Every structure is written in C-alpha cells, then in structure tokens.
C-alpha cells in the first residue's frame, strides 16, 4: 500500500467533511473553491503552520509529533478509531509482514469442535477463513464445501464474499451497513500492515470487480467492530438476529475467532438450534406381530 498517499487521502476526506460554521468559522461571502475546510483554516484551528500541515497531506509525515497529530485529530473531530488510524498512517510500521498463508492451530480447531451448538470460525487479519465448525459452515456458507478453508487455494474470504458472492451477500438483511463496516475494518488493517502483499491484492481485486467497494473505499471509513448484532436472512432458517463476539487468539499474526449466539427464548434461538443441531435419530416402529 502507498502509505503516504493513504495519509493524504484520509486527511483530505475528513477535511472535506467539515463545514467552516461547524468549527466556529464565519464563511466569507466569496465563493469557496474547495468543499469543507481549507488547509489554511485547518492549520490555524490546529495551531500548526500551513507548511507543516501541507507536508502531512503530501504524505511527508516524518517528524510529526504526538501533539500535532492530536491537535489535527481534535480539529477534524476524529473518533478514537480514526485517530489511531491517523497515527498508523503517519508512522507506518517498519516491520516486514509475512504474506504466506496461515493455518489455524490444533488447539483452535479443538475449541471450534467443542462448541457443537455455537456457530464459530477462525479468521486471519485478512478475513480469510482458516477454520469453522459445522454450525459456522451451516450458518454462513452452506453453499460452499465444508472443507474449503483447508486449502489456501480454496479458502473463503469474508470480505471478498460480501462483495463478490451473491449467495453470501443475500444473507445480510442490511447489506449496505455490513459492507461499510467491512471496508472500515479493512482500512484499519491495511494501515497497520502496509507491506502485506496479499492484503494489497485483496483490495485490488475488490476495486476491480466491485464498484460498490470502490465507492466505499474512497470514502475512507475507519471503525473497529468487535461485537454487535448481525441481521441475517438464512436460506433455510429464515430471519435471524444474532449477537457476534470477536475473540483475539494468542497468535502474533492477528488471528481471531468469531462466535454467533441468539438471545435466549427468542425465535432466532429456536431457528438457530434447528439449523445447527441435527434431527434426532428416529427408531423404527416395530409391528405388534413382530413383538410377540
């Protein structure tokens, strides 16, 4: 990823989203040539020189102090996630990120198998599915082979599926919100791993094949979403409102596990139980004549 360019685009997108009157400035009667705040206005409100701020938008962030980044974030009214993203772009990681395919450990697979009634899956930082249990497969992708995560060549990717797999896309009742969250998460990951070629390839593939992804990507959303409610419409179970939780796994590569549960006593709980638990084995009826 071109980190200097990403830094400039992020700052421009947030500067364009603020109107002068929102930050206490009185717009001049003359026509403004830019949307949102001018560089000069943002620099003044942040207490930094125009030259220094311009260097930041040009991607030349070397020497940017914590106080400068904090002041700019405050002026732009960035959220905590956006502020962390700004710092990651201004001070990109110097470590080399391995791009080789990852695998779920034996203990993670054992944990997945130990939850027969809870849909769960293990992911890497790129949202590649490393492993899932039978309920997780039945909930999210029954149209794919259950062994698909076992090979790097066939391994599903949740973000790619969300934009390019019509069956998976149809699972989400509020697809636009889900898509925005997916792009916001991907933005954060790419900022922290700018040299991950497989991440870069994923972004490129989505940009080429999905105009909707490109539109969202240019808006530069940034947000961490580790828990919440997914509103689904399963092809066999019907409407489901499921709580998801993200658990960070003890892996230096940033692997995590996601689980899905339903509110006790709800219609979603019963539908999820019907989906994830096999029907009881029926015993054959023995004719009375055979009982004698």
**281 vs 176 pLDDT, higher one:** 176
- Helices 50-57 and 3-16 cross at an angle (nearest 10°) of 120
What local confidence, expressed as pLDDT, does residue 85 receive? 94
> β-strands 120-123, 129-132: how paired?
antiparallel
The SS3 of residue 128 is strand
Candidates 81, 105, 74, 52; CA nearest to 192 is 81
Q: Which helix (H) or strand (E) holds 44?
A: helix 39-46
pLDDT in tens, 178-229: 999 999 999 999 998 888 899 999 999 999 999 999 999 999 999 988 999 9
CA separation, residue 212 to residues 82, 164, 166, 179 (Å): 22, 10, 13, 9
pLDDT, one tens digit per residue, over 71-96 is 999 999 999 999 999 999 988 876 66
Percentage of residues of the chain with pLDDT beyond 90: 68
The helix, strand and coil proportions of the chain, stated in percent and rounded to the nearest 5, come to 45, 10, 40
Residues 99-127: tens digit of each pLDDT: 677 899 999 999 999 999 999 999 999 99
- Long-range contacts of residues 79-84, Cβ cutoff 8 Å, at least 24 apart: 79/222, 79/223, 81/184, 81/188, 81/222, 81/223, 81/224, 82/14, 82/222, 84/188
Q: Which residue has the higher pLDDT, 95 or 269?
A: 269
Q: DSSP label at 20? A: G
**For residues 79 and 177, is the Cβ–Cβ distance under 8 A?**
no
pLDDT attached to residue 65:
87
Q: Nearest to residue 221, comparing CAs of 79, 30, 8, 42?
A: 79
Dihedral over alpha carbons 29, 35, 40, 42 (to 10 degrees): 120
Asked if 275 contacts 237 with a C-beta cutoff of 8 angstroms, the reply is yes
Q: Which two tokens stand for residue 28?
A: 């001049």
Per-residue confidence band for 290, with pLDDT thresholds at 50, 70 and 90: very low
The one-character DSSP state at 157 is B
Sorting pLDDT into bands at 50, 70 and 90, what band is 243?
very high
Domains defined for the chain, CATH in brackets? 3-90 (1.10.260.40), 106-276 (3.30.450.180)
Per-residue confidence at 27, pLDDT binned at 50, 70, 90? low
3-class DSSP assignment, residue 127: coil
């Amino acid at each position: 990823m071109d980190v200097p360019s990403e830094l400039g685009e992020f700052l421009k997108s947030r500067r364009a989203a603020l109107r002068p009157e929102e930050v206490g400035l009185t717009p001049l009667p003359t026509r403004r040539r830019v949307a949102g705040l001018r560089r000069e206005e943002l620099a003044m409100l942040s207490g930094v020189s125009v030259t220094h701020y311009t260097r930041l938008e040009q991607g030349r962030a070397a020497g940017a102090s914590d106080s400068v980044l904090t002041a700019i974030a405050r002026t732009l009214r960035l959220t905590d996630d956006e502020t962390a993203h700004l710092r990651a772009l201004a001070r990109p990681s110097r470590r080399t990120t391995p791009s080789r395919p990852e695998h779920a450990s034996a203990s993670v697979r054992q944990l997945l198998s130990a939850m027969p009634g809870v849909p769960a899956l293990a992911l890497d930082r790129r949202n590649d599915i490393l492993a899932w249990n039978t309920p997780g497969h039945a909930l999210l992708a029954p149209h794919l082979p259950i062994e698909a995560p076992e090979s790097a060549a066939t391994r599903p990717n949740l973000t790619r599926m969300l934009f390019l797999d019509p069956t998976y896309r149809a699972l989400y009742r509020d697809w636009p919100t889900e898509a925005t969250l997916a792009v916001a998460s991907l933005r954060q990951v790419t900022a922290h791993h700018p040299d991950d070629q497989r991440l870069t390839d994923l972004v490129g593939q989505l940009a080429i094949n999905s105009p909707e992804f490109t539109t969202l990507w240019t808006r530069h959303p940034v947000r961490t979403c580790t828990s919440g409610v997914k509103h689904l419409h399963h092809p066999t179970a019907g409407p489901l409102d499921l709580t998801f939780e993200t658990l960070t796994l003890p892996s230096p590569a940033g692997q995590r596990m996601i689980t899905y549960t339903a509110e006790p006593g709800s219609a979603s709980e019963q539908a999820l139980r019907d989906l994830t638990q096999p029907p009881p084995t029926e015993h054959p009826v023995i004719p009375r004549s055979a009982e004698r």
